[in-house]
């Protein structure tokens, strides 16, 4: 999920193990990645990065309770684990607990400013907490930091769709679709946006028939 993690304070052998864990995760081998991270924790129970990787992998496996447990454990060991706050905020957002999501994601953003993935999730949570203009501004900022993020393009497109900016929504979702053609959610949102845009265009172009009042007859 997060692309700019800083593990430079770890010794070389820990960094090597973390790189292996990360590569397994990126290749979709989440169970193997978790096992390698658990091995690392056996050698170093205070390895925050290993706990963060476990939480991240569990999110990918939709095992949210385990992800939450690992993220909370990481935060107990290090109150400045921005990844821990990010994962908790992501899970809160998934549960549509917007106030909690904003609190955790704001903390993650304070600890790791200008991370596009944190900003993406924060903007989405704020938008869904009915602070629509603020949410869109933050999502636009996330997109400026990572212009090729299909996830940010998709979320921002959905937001513009909800405020009935159909042309902008279609533009963003088309780009997301081009970048990530195998993403089912992106494709479905793009098709939906095109449908709304076409119906809206037809509606505003359709001439309105004026009703001619009938003259009353007085016999």
Residue 216 has pLDDT above 60, yes or no: no
Beta-carbon contacts of 47 under 8 Å, excluding residues fewer than 6 positions away, are 10, 14, 40, 41
Q: Any alpha helices (H) in 95-131, and if so which ranges?
A: 98-111, 116-128
pLDDT in tens, 60-73: 999 999 999 999 99
pLDDT in tens, 29-87: 999 999 999 999 999 999 999 999 999 999 999 999 999 999 999 999 999 999 999 99
* Token pair listed for 37: 């991270």
Question: What is residue 199's predicted lDDT score, i.e. its pLDDT?
Answer: 84
pLDDT: which is higher, 139 or 1: 139
Question: What is residue 10's predicted lDDT score, i.e. its pLDDT?
Answer: 81
What's the average model confidence in pLDDT over 208-216?
A: 51
Weakest mean pLDDT among 3-7, 41-45, 174-178, 180-184: 3-7
Question: What is residue 218's predicted lDDT score, i.e. its pLDDT?
Answer: 39
Reported confidence tier of residue 219, pLDDT bands at 50, 70, 90: very low
Question: What is residue 165's predicted lDDT score, i.e. its pLDDT?
Answer: 94
* Token pair listed for 208: 């309105």
Contacts of residues 187-195 at CB distance under 8 Å and 24 or more positions apart, as own/partner, are: 189/154, 189/157, 189/158, 189/161, 190/157, 192/161, 193/157, 193/161, 193/166, 193/169, 194/170
Cα–Cα separations (whole angstroms), residue 173 to 66, 94, 148, 157, 185: 32, 21, 12, 6, 10
Question: What is residue 205's predicted lDDT score, i.e. its pLDDT?
Answer: 65
* Token pair listed for 92: 């809160």
pLDDT in tens, 111-136: 999 999 999 999 999 999 999 999 99
Residue 197 has pLDDT above 90, yes or no: no
Question: What is residue 183's predicted lDDT score, i.e. its pLDDT?
Answer: 93
Beta-carbon contacts of 88 under 8 Å, excluding residues fewer than 6 positions away, are 68, 71, 72, 75, 100, 104
pTM of the model: 0.87
Reported confidence tier of residue 11, pLDDT bands at 50, 70, 90: confident
Return the axis-axis angle of helices 116-128 and 82-94, rounded to nearest 10°: 30
Residue 3 has pLDDT above 80, yes or no: no
pLDDT: which is higher, 8 or 74: 74
* Spatial distance between the Cα atoms of 217 and 177, rounded to a whole number of angstroms: 62
Q: Detail the DSSP E strand segments found in the chain.
A: none
pLDDT: which is higher, 160 or 199: 160
Residue 215 has pLDDT above 90, yes or no: no
Reported confidence tier of residue 196, pLDDT bands at 50, 70, 90: confident
């Amino acid at each position: 999920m997060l692309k700019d993690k800083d593990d430079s304070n770890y010794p070389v052998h820990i960094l090597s193990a973390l790189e292996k864990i990360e590569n397994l995760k990126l290749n979709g081998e989440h169970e193997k990645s978790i096992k390698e991270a658990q091995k690392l924790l056996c050698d170093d129970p205070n390895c925050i990065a290993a706990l963060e990787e476990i939480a991240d992998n569990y999110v990918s496996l939709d095992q949210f309770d385990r992800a939450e447990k690992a993220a909370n454990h990481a935060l107990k060991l290090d109150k400045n684990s921005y990844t821990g706050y990010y994962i908790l905020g992501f899970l809160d957002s998934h549960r549509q607990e917007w106030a909690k999501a904003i609190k955790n994601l704001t903390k993650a953003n304070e600890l790791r400013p200008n991370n596009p993935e944190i900003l993406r999730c924060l903007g989405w949570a704020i938008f869904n907490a009915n602070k629509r203009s603020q949410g869109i501004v933050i999502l636009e900022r996330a997109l400026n930091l990572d212009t090729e993020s299909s996830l940010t393009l998709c979320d921002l497109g959905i937001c513009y769709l909800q405020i009935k900016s159909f042309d902008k929504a279609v533009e963003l979702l088309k780009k997301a679709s081009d970048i990530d053609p195998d993403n089912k959610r992106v494709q479905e949102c793009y098709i939906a946006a095109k449908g709304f845009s076409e119906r809206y265009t037809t509606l505003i172009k359709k001439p309105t028939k004026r009703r001619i009042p009938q003259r009353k007859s007085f016999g």
